[in-house]
Structure 1
Amino acid sequence: MITVTTREATNIDVAAILEIYNQGIMDRIATLETEPKDLPYMNQWFQDHQARYSILVAERAGVVIGWASLNPYSHRCAYNGVSDLSVYVDREYRGKGVGSALLSAIEAKAIQHDFRKIVLFTLPFNAQGQGLYNKKGYRKVGVFEKQGVIGNHLIDVVIMEKVLLK
């Protein structure tokens, strides 16, 4: 395990966030996205994540090595207290405690922003990610069968959640 610092992301971090996200897309274990994103896309994404929808980064020696974001779950007001979650870690630092530090920090931010629950969608073959979520108290809710496509293969998507307010 390594020591990292977590903090709110700024505009200066967008390029590093983009690089780490594109690693996740290329590695085909964390997202169903297939095309790498570009800087204009990521800048717009960053602008859309203001106020309640925080983005945090993890740094080691001043270098961004991971990020997490709270994302809108639904446009319906009944789900105002529910946030979707994204967590991405630079491939060199996966399995070294970065994801755990980001999850702890983003959960605290979610509570601060009046979210009662976090949901996430993960791929069934992302054992490392699911291990992290299980360790941090997320529970498997179910599986969307044949929800996405990778290459020519239909892929299931695992749904997990954590209730933050007891």
Structure 2
Amino acid sequence: MSRRLETATVAHVPGIRAIYNEAIRTLSATFDTEEKSHDDRVRWLSERSERHPVVVALAGAEVVGWGALSPFSDRPAWGRTVENAVYIAEGHRGQGWGDEILTELMKRARTIGHHVVIARIVGGNAASMRLHERHGFELSGTLREVGWKFERWHDVVLMQAMVLAAE
């Protein structure tokens, strides 16, 4: 079975949506609490600029993961700072997909000319912290008890990586 990454298109929305909705239902990795509709995910994808790509991981034709670079803030001075997101379908975790997606996102961040990539990781998500450390992210701090999900408070760990713009 072929294994590859591609820039996300509307054709990938059902897979992106399924993975994200599974995370909303079962993980504290996202602080979204309401599942997303197909139309919402199409709108989300279509409103993204070239500076904020979404990539999908494909095993054959199946979307098994996705990642994105998103604006960290809508204020102009933050324009070259982005936040990353990486989500892997439950049955495909631990198979290296996260590394492949984050490698591609960091490559694109450099090419685009972003200066900093930030990861907001829910406290206790050691696998995500290790993933980001392997890609040059360093701990910047912890926001204590900032998210309420699954009837408890969650911390958020901030990690960041400096990226060099392509020459």
Task: Name the TM-score, length of structure 2 as normaliser.
Answer: 0.93
Q: Which amino acid aligns with 2:159?
A: M
- CA shift, 1:140, in A, is 1.1
Match of 2:9 in 1: 10
- CA shift, 1:112, in A, is 1.5
State which drifts further: 143-152 or 87-96: 143-152
Mind listing any 5+ residue stretches in structure 2 that lack a counterpart?
Answer: none
Q: Partners of 2:26 and 2:15 in 1: how far apart? A: 17
| Structure 1 outlier segments of 4+, above 6 Å | none
- CA shift, 1:151, in A, is 2.9
- CA shift, 1:152, in A, is 2.8
Mind listing any 5+ residue stretches in structure 1 that lack a counterpart?
Answer: none
Q: Partners of 1:29 and 1:100 in 2: how far apart? A: 20
Contact in 1 for aligned 2:28/2:149 (Cα 8 Å) = no
Deviations 1:53-89 (A, max 9, x none): 1000111112111100110111222111111111101
- CA shift, 1:120, in A, is 1.3
State the secondary structure of the residue aligned to 2:153: strand
Task: Name the TM-score, length of structure 1 as normaliser.
Answer: 0.93
Q: Partners of 2:51 and 2:73 in 1: how far apart? A: 14
Matched, 1:26 2:9: no
1:97-108 correspondence runs (5 A): 97-108=96-107
Matched, 1:117 2:116: yes
Match of 1:39 in 2: 38
State the secondary structure of the residue aligned to 1:16: helix
Match of 1:71 in 2: 70
- CA shift, 1:149, in A, is 0.3
- CA shift, 1:43, in A, is 1.1
Aligned residues: 165
Q: Partners of 1:111 and 1:162 in 2: how far apart? A: 11
Identity across matched positions, percent: 27
